[in-house]
Amino acid sequence: MDGEVQYYLRHDGGKLHLNPLIGKAIEVNFDGVINCMICGKKTKKSFGNGACYSCFMNAPEASPCIIHPELCEAHLGKGRNPEWEDQHHNQEHIVYLAKSSAIKIGITRKTQLPTRWIDQGASEAIILAEVPYRQLAGAIEVQLKEFFTDKTNWQRMLKNELSDLDLLAVKEEALEHYLDEAYYEYISDEDEITKIVYPVNHFPNKVKSVKLDKEPIIESVLEGIKGQYLYLENGQVINIRNHSGYLVNIQF
């Protein structure tokens, strides 16, 4: 990628460009209102990145195959909402390796690149396989996560403690030694390594997550942005994705 990642925060009036605010004082005020990101109704607590309990239990956007793609049934015409599943999961998916706190195995819709890598705070990523539907990507991920993590250590990622392994060499090792022959037809010949640079003034030695539920008013200097996190002063960070649906007022 060319240049630093550009971050925008959507709001009722459009989009707020966050990069120009780095190095400046900001104030975030949470008034206690949370709306479900799926149905829009007010909820006392959000589940699974912004859903009310009803949507978390019933909506296709929060179905178990979101977390466990190997369980997806979209290719069989099934799911919580077969039409939604067909539109979002019965389409091309990518299996990839990403470098963050360690070498991570992951999957995403092809249309979500490189957004998914940025969302996870990856510094580098490479495509491993391309498959026609989500369940197949999940099956490959399940096999390879015996050898690679499928989780990101958020603290190490935010401190920029990165793996020093070569991604192309890791891909070749995975394909030669770890991937079942049944999946060989889906191997990608794309060996380009995507490198991602985040707008961060400096990486802290220690990080502490803050949440608006406990601190409804946060006054600090925005020191940078990486993945889903805003860096604040004194090693404090706030996970924006975890606050999906929260009604806030931002002053700067």
Q: Is residue 172 part of a domain?
A: yes
Please name the amino acid found at residue 80: R
How far is it, in rounded angstroms, from Cα 122 to Cα 116?
A: 9
Mean residue pLDDT of the chain comes to 95
Q: Is residue 3 part of a domain?
A: no
Residues 6 or more apart in contact with residue 167 via CB below 8 angstroms:
97, 99, 103, 124, 125, 126, 193
Q: Is residue 199 part of a domain?
A: yes
Q: What percent of the chain has a predicted confidence (pLDDT) above 90? A: 94
Among residues 87, 32, 36, 43, the alpha carbon closest in space to that of 62 is found at 36
pLDDT of residue 12: 76
Q: Is residue 186 part of a domain?
A: yes
- Say how many Å lie between the first and final Cα of the chain, rounded: 29
Give the range of the structural domain holding residue 200, as residue numbers without chain letter: 8-251
Q: Is residue 1 part of a domain?
A: no
Q: Is residue 46 part of a domain?
A: yes
Among residues 211, 207, 251, the alpha carbon closest in space to that of 231 is found at 207
User: How many structural domains does the chain have?
Assistant: 1
pLDDT of residue 49: 83
pLDDT reading at 13 higher than 80: no
Q: Is residue 233 part of a domain?
A: yes
pLDDT of residue 24: 97
Here the tokens at position 39 are 């149905």
Residues 6 or more apart in contact with residue 206 via CB below 8 angstroms:
159, 235
pLDDT reading at 101 higher than 80: yes
Q: Is residue 52 part of a domain?
A: yes
pLDDT of residue 116: 95
Q: What is the mean pLDDT of residues 80-88?
A: 96
Q: What is the mean pLDDT of residues 111-117?
A: 96
Sign of the dihedral through C-alpha 236, 241, 246, 249 = positive
**pLDDT class for 178, splitting at 50, 70, 90?**
very high
pLDDT 10s digits, 22-74: 999 999 999 999 999 999 999 999 998 899 999 999 999 999 999 999 999 99
Q: What is the pTM of this model?
A: 0.93
pLDDT 10s digits, 216-246: 999 999 999 999 999 999 999 999 999 999 9
